[in-house]
Structure 1
Amino acid sequence: MLIYILIILILGLTYLFRKSLSKKLCNLIIIYIYIILSIVGGIRYNVGTDFELYESIFNRSTTIVYSSDFVEAGYLYINQVLFQLGFSFQFLLLIVSLFINFNFIKGSKKYNDDVLGFLFFFVTTGIYFSSFNIMRQAIVISVFFLCINLFINKKYLPFTLIMLSSYLIHRSIIIVLIIVFLCIIKTRIHPLRLFLTGLFIVLGIINFSNNDLIMKLFFFLPDKYQIYSSSIGNLDGINLINLVLPTIILLLIFIFYNKLIIKNNKNFIFIRLFLIYYILLVFSTKYIDFYRVAAYFEITLLVLIPQILDLIKLKEKWFVDLVIVVLFSTYIIIKLLLGHYGVVPYDYNTNFLLNE
């Protein structure tokens, strides 16, 4: 846990003083933080709820026969190549960690020049820690974040081709692509009214429907996607604490909706994606499999939070920054201590070769 607190402390301090730092120094700090985050994620050992599963896949990769209802072909092939080259699972973790964090940092520059601020929210919203668990999906999510700007700029073909290639890593991207393209459909109904209608419907389904109704939704999907119905009957959804931050952001979006659109008309897409994220998150409180899709749209927090904060006009801006650091740092530390993400306690391993 100490390593996480140190990371949060470093990011909190850089967030507070980032505006007084030179551009050259900021870029240097970004590189150092990138290396730190990647190493911590890359050398972790038995950290994360899915660690043993992914380690087992790697160690058996050369003997596993590909099946459409198991791990995706692209991810399996990467495991096989690294294993045959003599690298260990730990080396795969390091490569994946470097790749994911690079995509997020590179992608952040497309929406905001404040990369140090972005890194603070990347960690304190929990997105960084999520990558310790949903590793295959985190790879695709990072690519999605890097490339969503193509979609916003109406470069639909390259965006679609890149994301379809991610199908080789995690098949859920198909569902996400459908949702993303539905977002550009113009309606006469205000997005916030449409959201409230959808939210009431979801709350009704959660409180008054039985599992059979939800199960039937998966039967309309190809066989490859029906594996996500495996835990529909399990009512252990995500903890309600996961709704705290998104609910606060939702209220702020209602308050600053028009100003956010005026500030940047591209926010229209991000707001729609966030509203979808919130509905899926509410669904996830009962049916945890919906979180697999919701996780893709959690990235909207990284774009919308800094812009909402920019709209809060106070003379004592330093005080706002201090409050943000305290609140977000406390929020993520509490979640970690409560066992969210399964990353506590932290242990590490630096053996990158199989024969070590």
Structure 2
Amino acid sequence: MIPYFLMYFFLLISCFLGSITKKRFFLICVFILFSVFSGFRYNVGVDYVNYVKIYNLEDGYESRELGFSLLLNFLRYIGADYQFMFLLMAIIMQILVYNIIKRYNYNVWISVFIYYCISPFYIATFNGMRQYLAIAIFIVALKYVEQKKRFKYIISLLLGGFFFHESVLFFLPLYYILNKTISIKGRLFMFLITIVGSFAIDKLISYTPYIVYLLRDRETHVSSFTYIFAGVSILFIVFWNRLNSFKSKLIMENMNLLCFLSLMVVLLQSNGVLIQMTLRMNSYFFFVYIILVPAVISSVKNVHIRIGMYFCLHIVLLLYLIRTICFNGALYNLVPYSMNFSLFK
């Protein structure tokens, strides 16, 4: 578990130097390290072995995404080993996240610490590698919603679904929602629909390719942090109008609302498999918090309150990282951490 905390201290040093010099160089170095740490990991992450089996064309292991299969065929053709696949995916992921953080630019270092310390973000890419690539593409494509460039938004999500994870295609209709002001009546209607839908979700899923999740026998408990995250999203909803204006505020508001509604579905579920699946779909909305939290804190006018909020947030992030690595590291196959530098056969 030591490598994870060495990464954390490297972030602290980079944050200090980057804040003093105002140079983008240190931020770039962090994302290069993120790529190396993720791309050269060996047998780290629950899904690591499954991806190796997909790459090696073992029976029963394949990707539904044609583009991903074509990409793996190309890597096999040039003689790359499966570790090259992990490195390539890691590099693409970190380039996308770097551009997301750089574009919104509220407090890039707070965004970096949230991204690294909160397990549903960077560390989660060790497991749901393809889906998190699709999530990052979706977050990048939010700028096209703001700019009202429908064609680019649709193409981005189609490419994300073709190459990485088809679940991103479910969010194509959000183009017509995210940039709209939703009235109180509209929110209440969405709230009621969510409650009704949460009790019929298993029936709805049975008509989709994800029916395989219903056939699995896997117990999943709702984490206490799910309640905390739901509470945070409620606070944002209640006090949103008191916040100062910031870039993409309307889109962020609607993403927060959708995040809360999807978390509510999770909390109303009793089927462990459905909890897991709904949380994975929620990741598309929850990922925006690496942008939203710094934006909200930056909008606070009182300097002393703002500094206090940053300090408290940093303590929470460190404790969350300790919980993830020290207490749940073995559960999620994060420890022991080892590396493999063999990229070609």
**What's the TM-score, normalizing by structure 2?**
0.85
On the 8 A contact 2:145/2:178 being kept in 1, the answer is no
Amino acid at match of 1:181: Y
2:72 is the counterpart of 1:79: yes
Shift, 1:37, TM fit = 0.8
> In structure 2, what is the Cα distance between the partners aligned to 1:55 and 1:65?
9
Shift, 1:248, TM fit = 4.5
Percent identical across equivalent pairs?
Answer: 21
Shift, 1:214, TM fit = 2.9
Q: Which residue of 1 aligns with 2:6?
A: 6
2:35 is the counterpart of 1:38: yes
Q: Which residue of 1 aligns with 2:52?
A: 55
> In structure 1, what is the Cα distance between the partners aligned to 2:42 and 2:295?
36
Shift, 1:217, TM fit = 0.3
On the 8 A contact 1:18/1:116 being kept in 2, the answer is no
Higher mean C-alpha deviation, range 271-280 or range 39-48: 271-280
Q: Which residue of 2 aligns with 1:330?
A: 319
Amino acid at match of 2:260: Y
CA RMSD in angstroms comes to 2.8
> In structure 1, what is the Cα distance between the partners aligned to 2:218 and 2:60?
32
SS at match of 2:87: helix
Match of 2:222 among 208, 231, 239: 239
On the 8 A contact 1:198/1:279 being kept in 2, the answer is no
Amino acid at match of 1:266: S
Q: Which residue of 2 aligns with 1:22?
A: 21
Q: Which residue of 1 aligns with 2:335?
A: 344
Match of 1:109 among 74, 92, 102: 102
Amino acid at match of 1:231: L
> In structure 2, what is the Cα distance between the partners aligned to 1:236 and 1:180?
35
Higher mean C-alpha deviation, range 82-91 or range 232-241: 232-241
On the 8 A contact 1:88/1:352 being kept in 2, the answer is yes
Shift, 1:151, TM fit = 1.2
Q: Which residue of 2 aligns with 1:157?
A: 151
Amino acid at match of 1:353: F
Cα-to-partner distance string for 1:298-330 (whole Å, 9 max, x where unaligned): 222112100221234242654443322111111
Q: What is the number of equivalent residue pairs in this alignment?
A: 334
On the 8 A contact 1:132/1:341 being kept in 2, the answer is no
2:124 is the counterpart of 1:130: yes
> In structure 2, what is the Cα distance between the partners aligned to 1:195 and 1:7?
41
TM-aligned CA distance change 1:18 to 1:319, over 3 Å: farther
TM-aligned CA distance change 1:233 to 1:76, over 3 Å: closer
On the 8 A contact 2:18/2:27 being kept in 1, the answer is no
> In structure 2, what is the Cα distance between the partners aligned to 1:120 and 1:335?
14
SS at match of 1:264: coil
Cα-to-partner distance string for 1:203-232 (whole Å, 9 max, x where unaligned): xx4xxx5xxx433202444xxxx2354236
On the 8 A contact 2:263/2:282 being kept in 1, the answer is yes
Runs of at least 5 residues in structure 1 that lack an aligned partner in the other structure: none
> In structure 1, what is the Cα distance between the partners aligned to 2:116 and 2:48?
20
Matches within 5 A, 1:248-287: 248-260=231-243, 262-264=244-246, 266-284=248-266, 286=269, 287=274
TM-aligned CA distance change 1:242 to 1:18, over 3 Å: farther
Runs of 4+ in 1 over 6 A off after TM superposition: 63-66
